[in-house]
Structure 1
Amino acid sequence: MPLVLTAQTLLFDMDGTLVDSTAAVERTWSRFAGRHGLDLAVILASAHGQRTAETVAAHAPPGTDVAAETAWLVAQDVADTGGTVAVPGAARLLAELPPDRWAVVTSAGRELAERRMAAAGLPLPEVLISADDVLEGKPSPEGFLAAAERLGADPARAVVFEDAELGLLAARAAGCFPVVVGAHDGPAAQGRPRVADYTGVTCVSSPQDGLRLVLPAPAPVPALG
């Protein structure tokens, strides 16, 4: 049986959730690792879901100008969207949603988010909360709370689609209902509903019920709140 959820709004992470930018991300961090003699695998293991500046600060050698290195990396990302594609089913699902009922909450900067969404052929939402719009990145709930507020929604009635540990923790801290996208199996993903992608995921909107979301592959669901 499919899993049916009702929600007031849907909040989406971007990289790995709506957009598969793996190839571009790995190319950029490979350049960074090469510049500083760092282990690319170690960087990639911690970078997902985190703002670029935070990853640079965590891995750059002592004495590195973190702000300048971050600006260089962001410029690399913005210039290189090769191989960026939409997660299967994402374009169809977004087309089913009323424009004022969904948002993107991403650890990417606004310019990069706009470039990657365009490269993947996905529409920009009316509400986009980027790394440029928050004081604290994920796992802080700030981004999800800001998106819900901008949409006039109750965070407790927001379903969040996330693929990374930090994002799932942020969604939970915001009081939202997280759904895991993809194969991430960290602690925050345990017991959560999960979809491989959006193939078979449907959403119908009505004035009475809000959004009626149907997931094709249910998993045990904790109580809302």
Structure 2
Amino acid sequence: MDLRELQAVLFDMDGTLVTSDASVERAWTTWASEYGVSAAEVLSQAHGAPAESTVDRMLPGFDEVARSTAAARQLELQYDDLSDVVAAPGAFEVLAALDGLPWAVVTSADLRLAKARLGAAGIDPPLLVTIEDISRGKPDPEGYLRAAELLDVDPQYCLVVEDAEVGLAAGRAAGARTAALKGLDGDFKLRDLHDLVTLLNRSLLNRSGE
């Protein structure tokens, strides 16, 4: 896909549109202490993935009730921890650069946490797909496929913007092109969202010149 064919942009939330890594890490560190597991190991696996998936990997012997309780506790630790949650550098600029293109946020957070973080960052997406809207979280493509469906755009004409490998895997599996932050590999590698602004502006300029 040439970006001139782009019809929609699907953003991850934490670490992509919203700078919340510190809040995420504080919550998982506290959670790890409460459940007696290694904080370092939890943090190496948790970013970008649904809480339930991390609980499954760290505490594989838990039954469904204990699993749900542990995942709910992890989210509870994050709901009110918003003191340093802000829009990521370049977030407002990239949303302005979309110039009318449909866009959505697809996150492994639940609705309450997603709204709290996006609200703290001052971002109001036209479409928000959370873990509660799907049955399988990242790296499964269901969330990105659901967003593309709701936007009425073929996934192959979507660009998924992510900062975690599980999210990039979900985007690839959905058939979308990927833009990767934090030194990860995608179809487009971004130092930050300002690089995506440049790509979008170039794409729109080329499109208008056709």
Q: Which has the higher helix share?
A: 2
1:1-225 → structure 2 map (5 Å cutoff)? 5-6=3-4, 7-60=6-59, 62-63=61-62, 65-97=66-98, 101-121=102-122, 123-184=123-184, 189=185, 192-200=187-195, 201-202=197-198, 203=200, 212=204
Q: Which amino acid aligns with 2:163?
A: D
1:26-50 residue CA offsets vs partner (Å, 9 max, x unmatched): 1101111111221111001111111
Q: Which has the higher strand share?
A: 1
User: How far apart in 2 are the matches of 1:213 and 1:84?
Assistant: 33
Q: Aligned in 2, Cα 1:150/1:61: closer, same or farther, shift over 3 Å?
A: closer
Question: Displacement of 1:62 after TM fit?
Answer: 3.7
Structure 2: which 5+ residue stretches go unaligned? none
Q: Give the TM-score, by structure 2 length.
A: 0.87
User: How far apart in 2 are the matches of 1:125 and 1:13?
Assistant: 11
1:126-182 residue CA offsets vs partner (Å, 9 max, x unmatched): 211111111111111111111011111111110111111111111111110001022
Contact 1:106 1:131 in 2 (8 A): yes
1:169-215 residue CA offsets vs partner (Å, 9 max, x unmatched): 1111111000102223xxxx2x63111112251435xxxxxx7389x
Question: Displacement of 1:96 after TM fit?
Answer: 3.5
User: How far apart in 2 are the matches of 1:74 and 1:142?
Assistant: 21
- Secondary structure of 1:212's match? helix
Q: Which amino acid aligns with 1:141?
A: P
Q: Which amino acid aligns with 1:5?
A: L
Q: Aligned in 2, Cα 1:105/1:99: closer, same or farther, shift over 3 Å?
A: farther
Question: Displacement of 1:20 after TM fit?
Answer: 1.5
Contact 1:161 1:179 in 2 (8 A): yes
Contact 1:129 1:143 in 2 (8 A): yes
1:60-90 residue CA offsets vs partner (Å, 9 max, x unmatched): 3744711112112212111112211221111
Question: Displacement of 1:119 after TM fit?
Answer: 1.4
The root-mean-square deviation of aligned C-alpha atoms, in Å, is: 2.2
User: How far apart in 1 are the matches of 2:57 and 2:146?
Assistant: 26
Q: Aligned in 2, Cα 1:129/1:98: closer, same or farther, shift over 3 Å?
A: farther
User: How far apart in 2 are the matches of 1:13 and 1:213?
Assistant: 26
User: How far apart in 1 are the matches of 2:155 and 2:60?
Assistant: 39
User: How far apart in 1 are the matches of 2:182 and 2:204?
Assistant: 21
Q: Aligned in 2, Cα 1:150/1:103: closer, same or farther, shift over 3 Å?
A: same
Identity percentage of aligned residues = 42
